[in-house]
Structure 1
């Protein structure tokens, strides 16, 4: 079920190469990745989960509200991380020449479906 939702997001995003539904503990619940030369998207997701935990702690200390989204841009990829409550997040990886805005929109639009299915 989650894999199909993730696949739809990747395929509807120009330049999309992978998406993962993950807990903040770094354990993937489900994923959909297209092959990408010399990049382990699973490992990327796990490492960004660690970074996301630290960002969430900082936000809590600052009291600026609940984390909703974090975007990381490298020379090759965008990684868009959308929080799904206190336990989970979904991450979408898009090639740097892909449609970052469409990816953000689809994650925001589909977040309630993920949350409902996780309940």
Structure 2
């Protein structure tokens, strides 16, 4: 299955956008629902967020970073590690089901990784 198709499947009812990016700040692929946000222009920022999360995980002796989630007044953001070099991000509307988005990513994780190798 193509990476774009996999990302489209991650955009559930309350999701607005999904993207795969590289830890070097490059955008690999993005899908935006109408009225969604452009994650392409945020790839470098999302990579920085993951690096900061990994740094905190090391400082806390918590093991490898799996995900970072941020909730805001109007949106929720979930960024999950796929490989040491790649992550997937999903933006949801405020009050969106982050746990459901996390489960959807976990179900498709191996297919997402396969598309990156």
Give the alignment's TM-score, normalised by structure 1.
0.85
Q: CA deviation at 1:110?
A: 1.0
| Alpha-carbon shift at residue 76 of structure 1 (Å) | 0.9
| Distance in 1, Cα, partners of 2:95 & 2:48 | 26
1:80, 1:14 → 2: CA distance? Answer: 15
Determine whether 1:66 maps to 2:99: no
* Corresponding residue of 1:23: 22
Query: Number of paired residues?
Result: 116
The alpha carbon displacement at 1:32 in A equals 0.3
Deviation for aligned residue 1:102: 1.5
5+ long unaligned stretches in structure 2:
none
Q: What is the Cα deviation at residue 22 of structure 1?
A: 0.5
Superposition RMSD in Å = 1.8
Question: What is the rounded CA distance, in whole Å, between the counterparts of 1:101 and 1:61 in structure 2?
Answer: 26
What is the deviation of 1:45?
4.1
Structure 2 SS opposite 1:29:
strand
Of 109-118 and 42-51, deviating more is 42-51
Q: Which moved more, 1:45-54 or 1:89-98?
A: 45-54
Q: Secondary structure at the match of 2:95?
A: coil
Which structure 1 segments of 5+ residues have no match?
none
